[in-house]
Amino acid sequence: MQRSPLIESTLRAFSTCFGGEPLVLALSPARVELLGNHTDHNDGLVLAAAIDRASVVAIRPARGSHKVAHVRSVNLDQHKRFSVGEEIPHSGNGSWLSYVAGVSWALAQAYGPLSAGFEMVIAGDIPLGAGLSSSASLQATVAIAIGAAGLINGPNLVGDDASRMDLAKLLRRAENEYVGVNSGLLDHVSTLFGRADHALTLDCRSFDYARVPLGSPAPALIVCDTMTSRKLADGMYNLRRAECQSVVSYFQSHVETSNITSLRDVTADMLRAHWAELDLVGRLRARHVLTENARVTAGAVALKQGEVAEFGRLMSASHASSRDNFENSSPALNTLVEAAENAPGFLGGKLSGAGWAGCTVNLVEADKAEPFAESVMEGYLKQTGTRPNVHICRSADGGSVYR
């Protein structure tokens, strides 16, 4: 297997930091959300894809009886350590180290204390702060590496899809309970279940999933960064969750059936019947979530039938709904989508992730990726005076042991 520059740089860093070779190399990809914006926290449907940007971990069990993890981040040029003894102290500061320690903690909770400390080097080429779930990628890679290095008394963590789902749930627990981030399962499933030339559907209530083909040749997945701050997203995300919950509370009070626990249980007919009585804001939020679930279902059908252009149209419709109904777009995101619409090879595009800032993701004809990227950069620069970062990506396989 030909080594990528990322693999080579990780091996060099390990040799420099610890001497010699690691026992295990593991990697896990980033992901993009193609359809299903803000449906996950409403027990809805999502369609995502793993992409060819990844976290890489090199690991070797530490010598001696001291259960200490020595971890180096190449990208951040930081070297940290923590105990992996009987108890791993909690750290909820959200730093990269808290994710590494959190995975170690979750594995210990599931399979007993780690058998030894370890020496680890982490590297990656995932753009940080771009909404590509670098944290879930990091978590998955660390877990796969620790397991493959023989440091847990447990199963092959990525031996089959059932094992991968168990690992995804374990990683979510680490992020929720150790790091203190109230994430769902989407990011962890996406990084573990990806397949080249495929997208992945996930039911966020039942955890049912399916891989669906992106076509042949598979279109490029091009991520465009507005270069605007995502700080606003945190507070607005919580507000949107509250607005969705207010609609759920309304239907729980006004519909005789008491089986409504989330917007997933509200039908389009119910929304139409109660439209006039609903809060002016809440009904728009609900309309977005309900129509977005429908777009995921339609999008999966379109891909199975080879109708990639129709799938792109649904992505653009998703952005329009985010802009007009969920109101989590921004002038910068809208400008970036408009620049993409006028670029060569454009099939569809939308904001990705929480919204309000950050990135768009675009479905682009495979042979038009480079001219598309150039056109978007020029168009956005002309409108805003800012040159966006553009990342030409392809769908990729999920987390695995490289060697």
Mean pLDDT of 101-117: 96
Q: What is the DSSP string of 68-100?
A: EEEEEETTTTEEEEEE-SS------S--HHHHH
Confidence of residue 92 (pLDDT cuts 50, 70, 90): low
Give the pLDDT score at 129: 72
User: How many percent of the chain have pLDDT more than 90?
Assistant: 86
Task: Enumerate domains of the chain plus CATH numbers.
Answer: 5-213 (3.30.230.10), 220-393 (3.30.70.890)
Provide the 3-class DSSP secondary structure of residue 113. coil
Mean pLDDT of 205-234: 90
Among 138, 144, 172, smallest CA distance to 158 is for 144
Does residue 229 have a pLDDT over 90? Answer: no
Tell me the pLDDT tens digit for each residue of 47-71. Answer: 999 999 999 999 999 988 889 999 9
187: annotated active-site residue: yes
Q: Which residues contact 6 (CB under 8 A, 6 or more apart)?
A: 54, 56, 123, 124, 125
109-123, 189-203, 224-238: segment of lowest average pLDDT = 224-238
Tell me the pLDDT tens digit for each residue of 147-160. Answer: 999 999 999 999 99
Among 109, 138, 104, smallest CA distance to 121 is for 138
Mean pLDDT of 259-266: 95
Does residue 232 have a pLDDT over 80? Answer: no
Is this model's pTM higher than 0.95 or not?
no
Give the pLDDT score at 131: 76
Residues recorded for the chain: 403
Q: Which residues contact 195 (CB under 8 A, 6 or more apart)?
A: 50, 211, 395, 397, 398
Q: Secondary structure of 223-248 in the HEC alphabet?
A: EEECCCCCHHHHHHHHHHHHHHHHHH
Give the pLDDT score at 91: 63
Mean pLDDT of 341-347: 98
Pick the catalytic residue from 187, 203, 225, 324.
187
Does residue 192 have a pLDDT over 50? Answer: yes
**Which ranges of 221-307 does DSSP label H, i.e. alpha helix?**
231-254, 268-273, 280-304
Does residue 230 have a pLDDT over 80? Answer: no
29-43, 62-76, 124-138, 276-290: segment of lowest average pLDDT = 124-138
Give the pLDDT score at 1: 44
Structure tokens at 48: 């995502």
Does residue 79 have a pLDDT over 50? Answer: yes
Give the pLDDT score at 184: 83
Task: Specify the DSSP element, H or E, that contains 373.
Answer: helix 369-384
Does residue 130 have a pLDDT over 80? Answer: no
Tell me the pLDDT tens digit for each residue of 320-330. Answer: 999 999 999 99
Does residue 314 have a pLDDT over 90? Answer: yes
Mean residue pLDDT across the chain:
94
Give the pLDDT score at 354: 87
Give the pLDDT score at 88: 80
33-47, 48-62, 73-87, 275-289: segment of lowest average pLDDT = 73-87
Does residue 2 have a pLDDT over 60? Answer: no
Give the pLDDT score at 103: 97
HSE toward the beta carbon, residue 356, CA cutoff 13 A: 14
